[in-house]
């Protein structure tokens, strides 16, 4: 019998049930690690470290989880907070504007079979905020309000970053696939 997340959370909080927490990690590791990979620019090792820290932080804070957002959304919020704090400490920020993106794009057309790879490359040419918004919306399937909760952004900022990201993607993909 598969227990819902809420029941597993109660077991962890009430009786420190490690097996129940393991079940929660197993269920949500893919979403958290994929999000961490997006944040880390595809660095799988760094992303897994971030994901591991996220789950440990979640374990410590589980008694404060009130169910106001879905559990995976809460986890992604923790991951983003940790990433933002680490990035603030490193004082590194990389931003590309759309002109740089389009001129940096590889002009050779890509075959249809490579379009998923194209998308990954194209996403990396967006600004970090646009990448994150597009990833959460289209790759994780979150709603705009859920993205706002994860990133602690106003809803308007989410929509702006998504619109800008899509505009850039449209231009990049058009350059790469001029026959389209």
Partner 1 sequence: MEPANLTPLPPERDPLEAWLSAKAPVAPLPDEGFTTRVLAALPPPQNSFSWGRLLLYAAGALSGLAVAWWHGSGGPSPAPIFTWWNGVAAQTVNLLADPWWGLALAGAIVAAAVVYALRVGWASLFEVDF
Q: Does 160 bind partner 1 (CB under 8 A)?
A: no
- Least spacing, CB of residue 89 vs partner 1, in Å: 21
First vs last C-alpha separation in the chain? 49
- In the range 161-180, which residues lie near partner 1 by CB under 8 A? 166, 169-170, 173-174, 177, 180
Per this entry, what is the length of the chain? 180
Q: How far is the CB of 75 from partner 1 (least distance, A)?
A: 12
Q: Does 107 bind partner 1 (CB under 8 A)?
A: no
Q: With respect to partner 1, which residue has the nearer C-beta, 56 or 92?
A: 56
Write the burial class of residue 146 (CB in 10 Å: 0-12 exposed, 13-18 middle, 19+ buried). buried
Residue that the structure tokens 């992604």 belong to:
76
Kindly identify the residues of this chain, within the stretch 9-68, that bind partner 1 according to CB under 8 A: 16, 18, 21-22, 25-26, 29-30, 33-34, 48, 51-52, 55-56, 59-60
Q: Which is nearer to partner 1, 118 or 128 (CB)?
A: 118
Separation between Cα atoms, residue 62 and residue 127, nearest integer Å? 32
CB 4 to partner 1: min, Å: 18
Q: Which residues contact 49 (CB under 8 A, 6 or more apart)?
A: none
What three-state secondary structure class fits 93?
coil
């Amino acid at each position: 019998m598969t227990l819902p997340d809420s029941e597993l959370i109660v077991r962890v909080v009430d009786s420190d049930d490690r097996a129940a927490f393991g079940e929660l990690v197993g269920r949500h590791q893919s979403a958290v690690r994929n999000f961490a990979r997006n944040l880390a620019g595809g660095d799988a090792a760094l992303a897994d470290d971030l994901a591991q820290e996220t789950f440990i932080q979640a374990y410590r804070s589980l008694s404060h989880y009130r169910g106001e957002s879905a559990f995976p959304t809460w986890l992604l919020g923790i991951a983003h907070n940790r990433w933002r704090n680490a990035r603030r400490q490193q004082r590194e920020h990389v931003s590309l504007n759309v002109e740089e993106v389009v001129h940096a794009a590889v002009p050779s057309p890509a075959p249809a079979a490579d379009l998923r790879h194209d998308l990954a490359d194209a996403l990396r040419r967006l600004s970090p905020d646009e990448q994150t918004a597009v990833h959460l919306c289209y790759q994780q399937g979150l709603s705009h309000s859920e993205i706002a909760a994860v990133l602690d952004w106003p809803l308007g900022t989410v929509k702006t970053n998504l619109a800008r990201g899509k505009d850039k993607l449209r231009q990049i993909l058009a350059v790469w696939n001029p026959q389209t």
